[in-house]
Structure 1
């Protein structure tokens, strides 16, 4: 069973995860990393905080690489996009673009001010 981990405290990330659940059929469980057994999945908290994670058969991909694998494991019409995301020159710019979006996710549609806070500061806010 594959798992897609995302930041469940970020409204933008949660909206993206809901899009995946509604529109991109996959066998993967889509789980906020805050509610996952990270140790069992072989993921460090700092890794989960820094990028979306795809875990499958003991292997792990992060950020745009995780998105590419997700798309390659989805319906046939998503697969070309997943392969394109993995190929140069798209793959060369994927991480810089991913980081740019991640740093500005509080400005994205559905984003909130909490999305821009480091996880340690979000922890201080308590459950929402």
Structure 2
């Protein structure tokens, strides 16, 4: 059984990889990070379809949070002032806005700094799993 949460991200996307590395240095959250391409997604309780759609936060008990809520859980785990921001992201009005911002970034990550063609989601996958 896992004792630490796992952050799963797209290891083929330079934007995602750079973002996770930056957050690891900044937040120092007690978690394991792994690209979905190298993760045993079945044992983590998720699918490739979901992992290609959004970053995932998987608790030691197997609860899976995706997208903006995965970021909220990461911030909560980081503690200090970050936990306040994470808690804010879980509130209903902010949660909806955070989801929209996350989707905007995720759907256009190939156009963001560090993004490459490998980062692009197929057009039929943008905005939904």
| Mapped partners of 1:47, 1:92: distance in 2 | 19
1:94-109 aligned within 5 A: 94-109=98-113
| Mapped partners of 2:62, 2:92: distance in 1 | 26
Contact 1:7 1:49 in 2 (8 A): yes
Partner of 2:83: 79
| Mapped partners of 1:78, 1:117: distance in 2 | 29
Q: TM-score, normalised by structure 2?
A: 0.87
Q: TM-score, normalised by structure 1?
A: 0.87
Deviation per residue, 1:28-78 (Å, 9 max, x gap): 101101011101101111010100000012111000001001100103121
1:98 CA displacement: 1.1
| Mapped partners of 1:97, 1:77: distance in 2 | 21
Gaps in structure 2 of 5+ consecutive residues: 123-129
Partner of 1:70: 74
Kindly report the root-mean-square deviation, in angstroms, between the aligned alpha carbons of the 2 structures: 1.1
Partner of 1:40: 43
Contact 2:5 2:31 in 1 (8 A): yes
